[in-house]
Amino acid sequence: MPQLASHVRTVDPNQIREITQAAWATPNSIVLSIGEPGFPTPPHILEAAQQTLARDETGYTPNAGIAPLRTAFAEQVGTQTETVVDPSRVFVTAGAQQGLHLAMSLLLDAGDEILIPNPGYPTFAMTARLLHAVPVDYPLHPENGFQPRIEDIEAKITPSSRVLLLNSPSNPLGSVFSADLTRDLVELARQRDLWIISDECYEAFTYDVPHVSPLAFDGGGERVVTSYTLSKTYGLTGLRIGALVTPPGLEARMSTVMESIVSCVASPSQYAALAALTGPQDYVREAGAHYRRNRDAATAVLIEKGIPFLPAQGAFYLWADLSHASGGDIRGWTRRFLAESGVALAPGTAFGSFGEGWVRIALCGPGADLVEGLGRLPAKD
């Protein structure tokens, strides 16, 4: 058999899926390793998708998406960022992951470097490598609350650097950038002539702090490309629907790139997304309240057990330090913990080397399961 391409052979397996699939195969396991919202989809969203099929509107749509949905995304983003976002800048994507792939395809040549957070979501590096680009970690240190430091990023910039990837609210950390930090990061990109890709999958869920997008400091939109998804906001993980907001003037180029990658997103998903954005927002409010309650309940268990953790300000994850139990191999420890205790946690090394000793706890499932699962963690002496 001919050999696969080298950029495919060198992509590491996703440790989140690894532990989660093992948990799914374990009877009666408590799965706290994956960020899957567990609420029923609101009926009006389902009805919008079903009506699309009923009227047999199953043909091609414009590459960039149906006009009403692009307008709805533009209005939502404009309100959040207190900027004017023209719908021509919005491109409907098959979820945030396809949006990230599209953004990197647009901005990176082979051999170009993209600066990614460590710890950070694993597909940041995986996607870059598939495009023959070079992911370069910038460290997020526990002593700095896992927030990026300008000097750490500057130390990683080389003549080959092209993109700075930012993620707030953070998966896996639950951290949120302040307005001052966000402004400084955009200014750094401007000074060093870098693009910014901003992954804002969890923008709808913050706790007692605001979400601030780099778009708010991008002037006329010269360098920030922003990826959104409805997977987390409305629990539509399987419909694969999101949006990429690009700087002005890229409409024709983006349409061509969309054609070569996905052509267009399925029309039932687009109409479901339109209903989600323009209809009642009860789901978002109720989900946010649920995640906050789960965060507080999980925090109480960790405090009782003496387990250090990063206070979660956003998303629906809690980042906890199990180094007292893991013996320097958190990936192996999570496997043993699943086998022995029936609880799946995402190992911190799924998100980079700075995750050694840590685990990501998903807060989106039933509260009773969360408390029961964390109650099985070994206490820190």
Report the C-alpha gap between 183 and 177 in whole angstroms. 10
DSSP-derived secondary structure for 259-302: HHHTSS--HHHHHHHHHHHHS--HHHHHHHHHHHHHHHHHHHHH
pLDDT confidence of residue 14: 84
Report the C-alpha gap between 111 and 271 in whole angstroms. 39
Domain extents for the chain?
A: 6-41+282-374, 59-278
Name which of 227, 224, 255, 198 is nearest 94 in CA terms.
Answer: 227
pLDDT confidence of residue 251: 87
Q: Which two three-digit tokens encode residue 296?
A: 């507080």
Residue with tokens 């533009």: 74
Q: Under a CB-based contact definition with an 8 Å cutoff, are residues 8 and 130 in contact?
A: yes
Q: Which two three-digit tokens encode residue 285?
A: 């409010």
pLDDT confidence of residue 32: 97
Give me the residues of the chain with pLDDT under 70, please. Answer: none
* Candidate CATH numbers 3.10.105.10, 3.60.150.10, 3.40.50.2300, 3.40.640.10; the one for domain 59-278: 3.40.640.10
pLDDT confidence of residue 269: 98
Report the C-alpha gap between 256 and 357 in whole angstroms. 44
pLDDT confidence of residue 18: 92
Report the C-alpha gap between 187 and 157 in whole angstroms. 14
If one counts every other C-beta atom within 10 angstroms of the C-beta of residue 127, the result is: 25
Report the C-alpha gap between 148 and 145 in whole angstroms. 9
CA separation (Å) from 275 to 34, 45, 163, 284?
Answer: 26, 5, 34, 13
pLDDT confidence of residue 122: 94
CATH architecture under which domain 6-41+282-374 falls: Alpha-Beta Complex (3.90)
